[in-house]
Amino acid sequence: MAPAAVAALDDDLLREVFIFLPSPADLLRAALACKPFLRAVRNAAFLRRFRRLHGSSSTLLLGCLVHLCHPDQPAPFLLPSAGPAAAAKTRVARDGDFSLSFLPRGGWLGGDTWQFLDCRNGRLLLKNRESQELAVADPLAWRCISLPPSPAERPVGYGLVADYGDQSAFRVFFITQDGGSSDTRALVLSSGELSWSDVAGLPRRPNLTHSRAMQANGSLYWTLKGGHSMVALNTATMEFSILKLPIPFRQLSFDVVEKCEDGNVLYLLTFRGFCIEVWAGAEDGAGVLTWTQVEKSVRFHKAMAMMHDSPELYQHGLDVIGVVAGVVFLRQWNRLLSIDLETMQLRRLSEEDCSSASIYPYAIPWPPMFLNPAEHGA
C-alpha cells in the first residue's frame, strides 16, 4: 500500500480492518509493517477487543510457575511448556527472572518466604508469610510493586484481575471476614491509585478455606468448603452472589472456563472417571442457574497407567490445577500432567515430586507486550 494511501486511513478505520485479521500472528505482522499501523494497534480498547475475540489463541502459554517448597529448591522456577512454538516460548521466557530475586529483600533467595495467591496475564500476586506484605510481580520485566497494607484484618480470599488491553494495568481483590462483623466484604486496589476501597458486601460468612480464585466472564469465583456452592464476585458491578454447583462437582476439583462466543454461560471443566467433562451453567426463566454436561472426552486411564512405574499409582485422584490457553493442567499425586484440549495429547511435565508444590500456569497476552499502549504513551 502506498504511503499516501496509508496516511489517508485514520486509526479508527484501520482498527476496524485489523479486528477481522484471523489470528494474533497476523495482527503482529500487520503492526510491524509500518508506523501508522503500529500506532493504530497500540490502543488499549482495540487490544482488549481483539484478545477477547480470539480467546485462547491470544494467550501465549509459557509453562507453569512451580514452587516445590523444598529446602533444596527454595525459589520458584518456570517449567517450560511443551508442544507447538516451544522454541518461541523459550525465547520469550529466557530473560525473565522466575526465581523472583527482585522481590523485596531478595525474595526466597534472600531468606524471605512468600506465598503465591494468584497469577494472571504474566503477573503474580504474592504475600510475605511473615510480614503479610502484598506485592504484584512481573517476572519478565523483573518488576515488583509493593502494595499498601489492607485496612482489613482477616483475609479469606484474594484475586488478581488483569487488563486484556493494557498489560500494565491490574486490580487486586481482597476478601475479608473481620471479627465483630457478620458479613463478608470485598476490597479492591487498582494499579492506577494503589489504595484500597471497600466495594461490595455479602450478608453471610461463607467458608473459603484453601480456595483459590478462578476467573471467567468478568467475575471471580471461590469454592466454598464442602464443594456444594461457590462465591462469585462480578468485577464490573461489584456484586456478590452464591452459585450452587452441579452434584458431581461437589467432591471434585475444577476450573471455570471462558468461551468468547458466549459470555452469558458459565463453563466448568473437571476430570472424572479419567475423562475431561465440561458443564455449562445458564439461568432459566426464573433466574435459577441450571447445569448441563456439554462435553466429555475419551478416557485417559490407559495412557496414565503407561506413565507410571506401578500400575496402582495411576489410580490416585487427579486435581485440576487450571485451564489456560486451551491446556488443562493436572496433578496426579506427585506428578504434574497436561492435556491439550485440541489434540487431547497427554504429557507428563516434570520428574520432580510435585505433591506439595504450589503451581500456577503462566501465560502472557499475545500479541506481545511491545504493543502495550502504557509502555509507549499511546
Q: Over the stretch 232-248, which tens digit does the pLDDT of each residue have?
A: 999 999 999 999 999 98
C-alpha cell at 87: 522454541
139-153 in b/e form (b: 16+ CB < 10 A) is bbbeebeebeeeebe
Query: Where does 209-334 show beta strands of DSSP type E?
Result: 214-216, 219-223, 229-234, 239-244, 254-257, 266-272, 275-283, 289-296, 318-324, 327-332
Instruction: Give the residue among 331, 305, 326 at the shortest CA–CA distance from 81.
Output: 326
Task: Tell me: pLDDT of 374 over 90.
Answer: no
> Phi, psi at residue 37, to the nearest 5°?
-65, -45
pLDDT, the chain, mean:
85
Confidence of residue 378 (pLDDT cuts 50, 70, 90): very low
Cβ-defined contacts of 182-188 (< 8 Å, 24+): 184/156, 184/231, 184/240, 185/152, 186/233, 186/238, 186/240, 187/150, 187/151, 187/152, 188/238
Distance CA 206, CA 201 (A): 12
The share of the chain scoring above pLDDT 70, in percent, equals 87
pLDDT tens, position by position, 313-345: 555 568 999 999 889 999 988 889 999 998 999
Distance CA 27, CA 263 (A): 24
Q: Please report which helix (H) or strand (E) contains residue 91, including its range.
A: helix 86-93
C-alpha cell at 76: 520458584
Burial class of residue 339, CB neighbours in 10 A (0-12, 13-18, 19+): buried
Give the C-alpha distances (Å, rounded to integers) separating 237 from 104, 112, 155, 182, 233.
34, 37, 22, 22, 9
Task: Tell me: pLDDT of 26 over 90.
Answer: no
Decide if 159 contacts 184 (C-beta within 8 A): no
Distance CA 41, CA 51 (A): 12
94-129 in b/e form (b: 16+ CB < 10 A) is eebbbbbebbeeebbeeebebebbbbbbbbbbbbbe
Instruction: Give the residue among 159, 69, 65 at the shortest CA–CA distance from 108.
Output: 69
Confidence of residue 377 (pLDDT cuts 50, 70, 90): very low
Task: Tell me: pLDDT of 262 over 70.
Answer: no
Q: What is the pTM of this model?
A: 0.86
Distance CA 127, CA 135 (A): 6
Burial class of residue 79, CB neighbours in 10 A (0-12, 13-18, 19+): buried
Q: If you ran DSSP here, which 8-state letter would residue 314 be given? A: G
| Cis ω for the linkage preceding 367 (within 30 of 0) | yes
Q: What pLDDT is attached to residue 371?
A: 58
pLDDT tens, position by position, 187-210: 999 998 999 999 999 999 999 988
Distance CA 223, CA 235 (A): 17
Decide if 156 contacts 175 (C-beta within 8 A): yes
pLDDT tens, position by position, 132-187: 999 999 999 899 999 999 888 889 999 999 876 667 789 999 999 987 778 999 99
pLDDT tens, position by position, 42-100: 887 888 788 777 766 678 899 999 998 777 778 999 998 776 666 667 777 888 999 99
C-alpha cell at 256: 471455570
Alpha carbon dihedral 219, 320, 244, 208, in 10-degree steps, equals -70
